[in-house]
């Protein structure tokens, strides 16, 4: 599971109303083919849009503060994001889902809430064999994330292996909590710099497009970019949420 975020976890004087974690999940048997296809896709962007392979797609800056990428017209930069979404949607073995937290009125730890929710959906979806793509009889999962608050995430995952209280679903239980420890996720999270990971850059695009669904900026709304996330209908993991069929867990 590759993970990226959009927004921040701050509750006071934060510029964002939502904190978002987005995941791309793929089976290790499809990793090499995915990377090869992604390199070909990036070469196509190089040849048609002038985006070099070594240049990072960081969606927020890509649209609003492009720096050296200003040489690429803004409409073309927007089209690159749309093409990224469409490439992801064409990969039937990929699985995409997100956790979206509305921070209004909350006082709890947004970081821990978001990550606990994301990781438990990863755990349970592996447990129930609900990810698309190849399946082994006894699959396990690993987490690859950017290094934002990496030590805090490492401690959280280690705690969840031993003590992880989850509220009971009211329709099945009479309140209370259960201790659901991680069983299907191995090792500590592996931290990557998205500059050196094409897959993480695609995940950054997803997280940005999720945010635009809830909190669009003027340019994205004007150009229809707030609807880009809906283009992922082939790869969204609907099993993670009971409230929608978008593969989004809303809290």
Predicted pLDDT at 64: 92
- With pLDDT > 70 as the criterion, what percentage of the chain qualifies? 96
228: pLDDT strictly greater than 50: yes
CB 160 within 8 A of CB 117: no
d(C-alpha 158, C-alpha 26), whole Å:
23
CB 132 within 8 A of CB 93: yes
Mean pLDDT (the chain) is 93
Contacts of 65 (CB under 8 A, 6+ apart): none
Contacts of 119 (CB under 8 A, 6+ apart): 143, 157, 160, 182, 185
Reported confidence tier of residue 161, pLDDT bands at 50, 70, 90: very high
Please give the DSSP secondary-structure letter assigned to residue 44: H
Reported confidence tier of residue 61, pLDDT bands at 50, 70, 90: very high
Give the pLDDT mean for 129-143.
94
Q: What is the 3-state secondary structure (H, E, C) of 233-249?
A: CCCECHHHCCCCCCCEE
Please give the DSSP secondary-structure letter assigned to residue 29: G
Count of the separate structural domains present in the chain: 1
Task: Report helix, strand or coil for 59.
Answer: helix
d(C-alpha 101, C-alpha 251), whole Å:
5
Strand locations in 68-114 (E): 95-102
For 249, half-sphere exposure in the C-beta direction (CA atoms, 13 angstrom radius) is 22
Predicted pLDDT at 172: 47
d(C-alpha 222, C-alpha 216), whole Å:
9
Reported confidence tier of residue 123, pLDDT bands at 50, 70, 90: very high
Reported confidence tier of residue 171, pLDDT bands at 50, 70, 90: low
| Alpha-carbon radius of gyration of the chain | 18
H helix runs in 90-178, sequence order: 110-127, 150-160
Residue 29's domain comprises 2-250
Reported confidence tier of residue 177, pLDDT bands at 50, 70, 90: confident
pTM: 0.93
Reported confidence tier of residue 175, pLDDT bands at 50, 70, 90: low
d(C-alpha 236, C-alpha 141), whole Å:
18
């Amino acid at each position: 599971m590759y993970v990226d975020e959009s927004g921040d976890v701050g509750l006071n004087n934060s510029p964002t109303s939502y904190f978002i974690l987005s995941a791309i999940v793929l089976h290790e048997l499809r990793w090499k083919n995915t990377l090869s296809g992604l390199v070909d896709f990036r070469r196509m962007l190089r040849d048609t849009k002038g985006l070099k392979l070594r240049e990072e797609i960081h969606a927020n800056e890509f649209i609003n503060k492009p720096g050296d990428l200003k040489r690429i017209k803004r409409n073309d930069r927007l089209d690159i994001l749309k093409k990224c979404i469409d490439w992801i949607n064409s990969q039937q073995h990929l699985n995409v889902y997100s956790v979206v937290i509305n921070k209004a009125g909350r006082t709890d730890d947004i970081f821990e809430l978001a990550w606990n929710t994301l990781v438990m959906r990863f755990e349970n979806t592996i447990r129930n064999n609900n990810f698309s793509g190849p399946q082994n009889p006894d699959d396990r999962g690993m987490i690859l994330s950017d290094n934002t608050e990496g030590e805090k995430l490492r401690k959280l995952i280690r705690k969840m292996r031993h003590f992880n209280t989850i509220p009971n679903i009211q329709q099945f239980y009479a309140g209370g909590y259960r201790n659901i420890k991680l069983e299907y996720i191995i090792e500590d999270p592996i931290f990557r710099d998205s500059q050196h990971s094409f897959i993480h850059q695609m995940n950054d695009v997803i997280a940005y497009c999720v945010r635009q669904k809830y909190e669009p900026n003027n340019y994205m709304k004007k150009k229809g970019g707030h609807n880009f996330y809906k283009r992922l209908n082939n790869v969204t993991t609907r099993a993670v949420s009971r409230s929608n069929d978008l593969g989004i867990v809303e809290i």
